[in-house]
Amino acid sequence: MNAEDLLQRLRELAIVPVIEIEYADDAIPLGKTLVDAGLPVAEITFRTPVAADAIARMVDNVPGLLVGAGTILSEEDVDAAADAGAHFIVSPGLNASVVERARQRSIPIIPGVTSPSEIEAARSLGLRLLKLFPAEAIGGIPLVKALSAPYPDVSFMPTGGITADTVSAWLAQPSVAACGGSWIATKDAVTGRRWEEITTKAGQAAELAASSPRSHTAGTRA
């Protein structure tokens, strides 16, 4: 998957569950739950020792699931995610060495930015899909509107503080490719194997994505 394919796919999906997994055995049932609910995507954060194993299990055993690796902080993390078969990686900040390693491993990366200077640094590295993090804390929708004016070629994946109640407003912004959300499959729900709860929330998220105005113009931004 290249960067353009990833952007198109994320615009179609619109909402990306950001998930922390404690036990690798939960990866396959979780992935199947998301697919069955109509939201076939997951960003598995590298905040636990089993993240790479969980990603590998999802990639190998859950057809149709787009699997990303989140909280990628180092070149070693890039290698672990790539070796696990992750389709893309996400980092909370912009680290040129991490971007270069991702490029060497031929895996799309979505680095985090918070300011015009960081956006310009990312653009100089050839990146046009960026994570806005922590989205609500650094200015919310007014900020993404302001940033989009001077950088019309950049698409954002806001993450951080977005909820089921606010995601539709975010998705209505033309520059927003997708939103990351941790409310769909919380750490407690996954650890407790509350698959019905996750199915409900993922299904609701898929409905919100489908009803968003931006879903009808997916792929129109660079």
Contact 156, 176 (CB under 8 A): yes
- Interatomic CA distance for residues 157 and 108, integer angstroms: 14
Residue 70: strand pairing partners: 45
3-state DSSP of 62-107: CCCCEEEEECCCCHHHHHHHHHHCCCEEEECCCCHHHHHHHHHCCC
Q: Which one of 131, 187, 196, 207 is the catalytic residue?
A: 131
Told to judge if 131 belongs to the known catalytic residues of this protein, a careful annotator would answer yes
Q: Which one of 32, 43, 136, 201 is the catalytic residue?
A: 43
How many other β-carbons are positioned within 10 Å of the β-carbon of residue 135? 26
Annotated catalytic sites, by residue? Answer: 43, 131
